[in-house]
Amino acid sequence: MNILSPKYNIAIVGGGPTGLFAAEYLSSQGYGVHIFDRMPSVGRKFLMAGRSGLNLTHSEPIDHFIKRYGSAQEWLKKSLYAFTPQQLQQWAEKLGQPCFVGSSGRVFPRSMKASPLLRLWINRLKENSVKIYTKHNFVGWNENALQFATPDGIKTYQADATLLALGGASWPRLGSDGQWSSLFKNEVSPFLPTNCGFKTSWSDHFLSQHEGAILHSVELSVNGEKKRGDLTITKRGLEGSAIYALSPRLRDIILTQHCAVLSVDLRPTLPYAQIIQKLKAQRVRESLSNKLRKALSLDKLSRELIKGATTKNSSLEEIASVIKKLPIELIATDHITHAISTAGGLKQSALNESFMIHSMPGVFAAGEMLDWEAPTGGYLLQGCFSTGLAAAKGIRDWLESSN
């Protein structure tokens, strides 16, 4: 069936932040906008992100902010300058969700939840006459028409322009499963987990014994790159904000060398010499475990890890070295379905500067289905908002120049 609209009809495939934000802009320009999502409701992953506090963006200066996108920073720079973190905060405030900056520089709505913002956002879209079609699973094209698998069978829709905002391949149960990549073949870089946990060479017995235990305020390093934070033992290995930040580097090492050695400083605030001094101040007859507990307040998990990396004959100097550089062998990333986000997706070479796919005039793409990655801290959502708006403006320019 044809979609009737005031001037042009635009199909947006994917009801996450990228698609919703593009829909808001395009509907404000007087276009007929129709959102299609395979889930029973839109914004599922967005709501999940808000469970621990909705981290919308980050407050650091934009020049530093852009560097967080690594090898994709030059590609995304124009979009990020065109819609900055400050503008995202202003948008949320105009929607009735004022924001605050946390101690780490991260930006949150004062409600700390995604659901009030999403509810207000959807209401705004409905006021702009945006139509939302749920339980519509995009399966490809029939000539120039979009095809969707629905509970009522295959449905076909025609549009003057299309924005694909289908996400990456993490959290498939929330809507983004990456199955769309089969439609583009050589134009897609393989999906890889990022902001993810890692599997270790530790035994299943060790992992089951310590699952849920946390190494607090440690410093992780790999190849000179360092991050501080907590490290949590899972039934599969390790996870936590610090290891997420190092995940691209660790992942790439594992891909080429089949394993990576993560160095953990269990007491980053104490220099090596001071650790030796504190250990030597303990009674000679004390067990190593007691020395570590009394001198350095190391918990049971830390003491066990140190014991496993030393011998009975290890000197205090060798033990201090292990405390400052505890080696943990990582053998694989956690499964991609457990990752917060993914690298991979449509290559930069597949799109023009307005995010239109070269091989498909009138079809644009944005958000996490593009081949970029960024750390947690608000950078992922900002990238989705900024590229979504850039693609929406690209659609506007393409329609107006083509007709």
Does residue 4 fall inside a structural domain?
no
* Token representation of residue 23: 């829909």
In 84-213, beta strands by DSSP E: 99-101, 106-109, 131-133, 137-142, 145-150, 153-157, 161-164, 188-194, 198-200
Max intra-chain CA distance, the chain? 87
Nearest CA to 240 out of 268, 271, 216, 205 is that of: 216
pLDDT on residue 2: 44
Q: Of the candidates 304, 333, 362, which is a domain's last residue?
A: 333
Contact 177, 368 (CB under 8 A): no
Are residues 170 and 274 located together in one domain of the fold?
A: no
How far from chain centre, in Å, is Cα 299?
A: 31
- Whole-structure pTM value: 0.93
Does residue 165 fall inside a structural domain?
yes
Are residues 365 and 275 located together in one domain of the fold?
A: no
Q: Using H for helix, E for strand and C for coil, what is the string for 58-103?
A: ECCCHHHHHHCCHHHHHHHHHHHHHCCHHHHHHHHHHCCCCEEECC
Query: What CATH number should be reported for the domain holding residue 238?
Result: 2.40.30.10
Q: How many CB atoms lie within 10 A of CB 243?
A: 27
pLDDT on residue 199: 98
DSSP bridge partners of 194: 341
Does residue 1 fall inside a structural domain?
no
Residue ranges of the chain with pLDDT lower than 70? 1-6
Does residue 2 fall inside a structural domain?
no
What is the rounded CA–CA span in Å between residue 234 and residue 224?
26
pLDDT on residue 402: 83
Does residue 238 fall inside a structural domain?
yes
Instruction: Give the Å distances, CA to CA, from 1 to 171, 352, 379.
Output: 32, 30, 39
What is the rounded CA–CA span in Å between residue 111 and residue 99?
8
Does residue 65 fall inside a structural domain?
yes
DSSP-derived 3-state class of residue 49: helix
Give the range of the structural domain holding residue 155, as residue numbers without chain letter: 9-193+339-402
Q: Of the candidates 283, 301, 333, which is a domain's last residue?
A: 333
DSSP-derived 3-state class of residue 41: coil
Are residues 32 and 79 located together in one domain of the fold?
A: yes
Domain count, the chain: 2
Are residues 186 and 208 located together in one domain of the fold?
A: no
DSSP-derived 3-state class of residue 104: coil
Q: Of the candidates 273, 306, 333, which is a domain's last residue?
A: 333
Instruction: Give the Å distances, CA to CA, from 73 to 109, 241, 379, 382.
Output: 26, 22, 12, 13
Does residue 239 fall inside a structural domain?
yes
96 contact partners, CB below 8 Å, separation of at least 6? 116, 120
Query: What CATH number should be reported for the domain holding residue 67?
Result: 3.50.50.60
Are residues 120 and 224 located together in one domain of the fold?
A: no
Strand 131-133 relative to strand 32-36: parallel, antiparallel, unpaired?
A: parallel
Does residue 3 fall inside a structural domain?
no
Are residues 170 and 295 located together in one domain of the fold?
A: no
